[in-house]
Amino acid sequence: MWTARKIACLIFAVLAYLFFRGIGDHGLIDPIEGVNASVALNMAAGGGLAYPLLVSPALASPGTGGLPYPGKTMGYWWLSAMALWLFRGFEFPVRFWSALGGLGMAAGAWLITRRIGGFRGANYAALLTGTSLLTYAVSQIASPHSLYSCLVTAALAGIIHAFQDRRFFLLTHAASALALVAYGPAGVILPWLSLLTYAVLTYRGRFFLEALLYWPGLLATFLIGGGYLSFLHTKNPAILALMAYNPPGPVFGSFSSGFLFLAAGFFPWSGFLPHAVKNAMPRRGFFPANPAAHLPLLFLLIWAAVFLTFGFFSRDAFLLAAPLPALASLCAIHLADGVERNDARLFQRMMALEILLSVPLIFFGLPLTYAVNSEAMRSMTMTALPWAGFSLLFLFAGWRCAKQRKPRKLMFQLCALALLCLLPLGGSFDLLADQLSVRDVGLWLRRALKQGDVLIQYIMNHPSLYYYAGKDSELVDAPVAPRTPRRESRPESFLYQAWMGGKRVFLLIRRDKEFLTPLPGEVHSLRETKRFIVVSNRGD
């Protein structure tokens, strides 16, 4: 017989398969993955645990030992360096912690909702979190966002459980201190800011002080956070001044585009969210009629608002993943309550809103994205169409069950179809990397390059080239990669000087680019791929 615990185990087994499958099969996507992989590689190769370097010490500026990277996600790079030491392969180690973080976000949502909404609500919360587009995206990208979201969700779970058992404050302290190490100051500031905001709005200042001054938690914060900051202050005090630097990530242009990104990121459950938020809003000021049941919901709402505000002002789209488990828990509690009451009208309203939001996203969002970035979308067409088909089936099945007034059947079919929607998305990362990654040419250069050879990127800047080729490259007329330190981009005259020098030069150029003036001397074509050409001044 299928019990709630067995269903939970099945859900996490399926999510683990979806998150981990294929993460080592496709190349790194620049610049975000290339930056993180290169910094972790330098740490794994002995570059120093307190000195994040984007390139190796071979291109050292005087007194620096390399190109310092002004990042703050030291803990994430340490874990990635450890994974590089433990696992084989090029991509799997640097994406391992992201996939594990995505699974941890679902587990955190399960723990949060288990205390408030029972096993059914907890299972719904894990499914809603795990099948959201934004959660899946951050779990597939080598970046600290997934691990950061997982740790702050663990801190949230500690607070929710501490409403009844104060010992769980230890989890909040430890998780927020680890988030400081893995991401930066926001990891420890935002959880306590959320709790302070809740305490002010509900006049529960004593609860906040109990949480903040819980002595086992304070000890954990001092040992983890204080030890981390002391280590940096001793080894590399300059990095402390760079803690406000945002790591690379996709940037949205305005608040309206950020809200659209959030709505699309919560797909296919976007239409369920407004009802859940309305249900969590206080009905009598800040003193609900049933405080024991309603105050945790209000805290989830405040938590999501604080983290969303930080994400909007940071303009980092991947930071919007941090509040998703809290929003998923709100939705799951509302859905579980509707299933328990067999409230068919509630599900009809939610499905109607879901259709109104999702149909424009599917029919107009994909062509609009194709027009904005045709190269990327052209590579993902083969997976975008099956995903759109599963999404339409999701809407059709939900509306059909809602008309039949069968909430339990509706949720079962929607959860199963939401999992199926993730199947083609894994292939989209494969196709995207196939169009944008330098993996093939980088691995060929790793075998071809010898000591003393010069590697040049012409009119492009791919941080992952160092990770694959194992050698730093000079940049000629190169654009600046977003949110990466400005490496020196040399003028075209440097290319001609190197070409006529005594060393063998490997020049990497895109197939669709042309030289402003012909290269001097002989030009030997050594390697051609779909996007890149490697030429050299010598044919040996």
Does any domain span residue 20?
A: no
Average pLDDT over residues 479-490: 68
Task: Count the alpha carbons within 13 Å of 182 in the hemisphere toward its beta carbon.
Answer: 23
Which pLDDT band holds residue 62 (cuts at 50, 70, 90)?
A: very low
Average pLDDT over residues 55-62: 49
Q: Give 179: exposed, middle or buried? Use CB within 10 Å, 0-12, 13-18, 19+.
A: buried
Residue whose structure tokens are 């690379």: 248
Query: In the prediction, which pLDDT does 253 show?
Result: 67
Q: Is the pLDDT of residue 30 over 60?
A: yes
Pick from 33-47, 274-288, 313-327, 508-522 the range whose average pLDDT is largest.
313-327
Query: In the prediction, which pLDDT does 375 show?
Result: 55
Q: Looking at 341, 367, 390, which one is the last position of a domain?
A: 341
Which pLDDT band holds residue 304 (cuts at 50, 70, 90)?
A: very high
**Pair 328, 461 in one domain:** no
Q: Above pLDDT 70, what percent of the chain? A: 86
Query: In the prediction, which pLDDT does 232 show?
Result: 86
Q: Is the pLDDT of residue 425 over 90?
A: no
**Pair 457, 336 in one domain:** no
Q: Is the pLDDT of residue 133 over 70?
A: yes
Backbone φ and ψ of 525, nearest 5°: -85, 120
Residue whose structure tokens are 């994430």: 76
Does any domain span residue 88?
A: yes
pLDDT in tens, 194-229: 999 999 888 888 889 999 999 999 999 999 999 998
Average pLDDT over residues 522-537: 83
Q: Cα–Cα distances in Å, from 180 out to 104, 150, 378?
A: 17, 12, 39
Query: In the prediction, which pLDDT does 244 show?
Result: 67
Which pLDDT band holds residue 505 (cuts at 50, 70, 90)?
A: confident
Does any domain span residue 396?
A: no
**What is the overall mean pLDDT for the chain?**
82
| Tally of domains in the chain | 2
Q: What is the DSSP string of 105-161?
A: HHHHHHHHHHHHHHHHHHHHHHHHHHHSHHHHHHHHSSSTHHHHHHHHHHHHHHHHH
Average pLDDT over residues 159-180: 92
**Pair 327, 467 in one domain:** no
Q: Which residue type sits at 299?
A: F
Please indicate whether residue 49 or residue 81 has the higher confidence score (pLDDT).
Answer: 81
- Token pair, residue 305, equals 């608002």
Q: Is the pLDDT of residue 119 over 80?
A: yes
Pick from 209-213, 343-347, 408-412 the range whose average pLDDT is largest.
209-213
Query: In the prediction, which pLDDT does 405 show?
Result: 83
**Whole-number Å distance between alpha carbons of 147 and 241:** 23
Does any domain span residue 168?
A: yes
Q: Is the pLDDT of residue 17 over 90?
A: yes
Query: In the prediction, which pLDDT does 103 show?
Result: 95
Q: Is the pLDDT of residue 40 over 50?
A: yes
Query: In the prediction, which pLDDT does 464 show?
Result: 87
**Is residue 43 helix, strand or coil?**
helix
**Is residue 471 helix, strand or coil?**
coil
Average pLDDT over residues 258-264: 77
Span between the terminal Cα atoms of the chain, in Å:
69
**Whole-number Å distance between alpha carbons of 372 and 356:** 23
Residues sharing a CB contact under 8 Å with residue 343, sequence separation 6 or more, in sequence order: 337, 407
pLDDT in tens, 79-101: 999 999 888 778 899 999 999 99
Q: How many helices and strands (H and E) does the chain possess? A: 22, 8
Range of the structural domain that residue 512 is part of:
439-536
- Token pair, residue 379, equals 């590579």
Query: In the prediction, which pLDDT does 156 show?
Result: 94
Which pLDDT band holds residue 61 (cuts at 50, 70, 90)?
A: very low
**Whole-number Å distance between alpha carbons of 26 and 39:** 19
**Pair 155, 272 in one domain:** yes
Does any domain span residue 6?
A: no
Pick from 238-242, 281-285, 427-431, 459-463 the range whose average pLDDT is largest.
459-463
**Pair 94, 217 in one domain:** yes
Pick from 276-280, 335-339, 373-377, 433-437 the range whose average pLDDT is largest.
335-339
Q: Looking at 341, 363, 381, which one is the last position of a domain?
A: 341
Cα dihedral across residues 443, 478, 434, 315: positive or negative: positive
Q: Looking at 295, 318, 341, which one is the last position of a domain?
A: 341
Residues sharing a CB contact under 8 Å with residue 503, sequence separation 6 or more, in sequence order: 452, 453, 454
Which of 63-72, 82-91, 304-313, 368-377 is predicted with the least confidence, judged by mean pLDDT? 368-377
Structure pTM?
Answer: 0.90
Does any domain span residue 390?
A: no
**Is residue 228 helix, strand or coil?**
helix
Average pLDDT over residues 47-67: 59
Which pLDDT band holds residue 354 (cuts at 50, 70, 90)?
A: confident
Q: Cα–Cα distances in Å, from 510 out to 38, 399, 438, 475?
A: 22, 48, 10, 14
Q: Is the pLDDT of residue 57 over 60?
A: no
Q: Is the pLDDT of residue 480 over 60?
A: yes
Does any domain span residue 129?
A: yes
Q: Is the pLDDT of residue 412 over 60?
A: yes
C-beta separation of 274 from 353 below 8 A = yes
Does any domain span residue 525?
A: yes
Task: Count the alpha carbons within 13 Å of 481 in the hemisphere toward its beta carbon.
Answer: 22
Query: In the prediction, which pLDDT does 487 show?
Result: 67
Average pLDDT over residues 395-422: 85
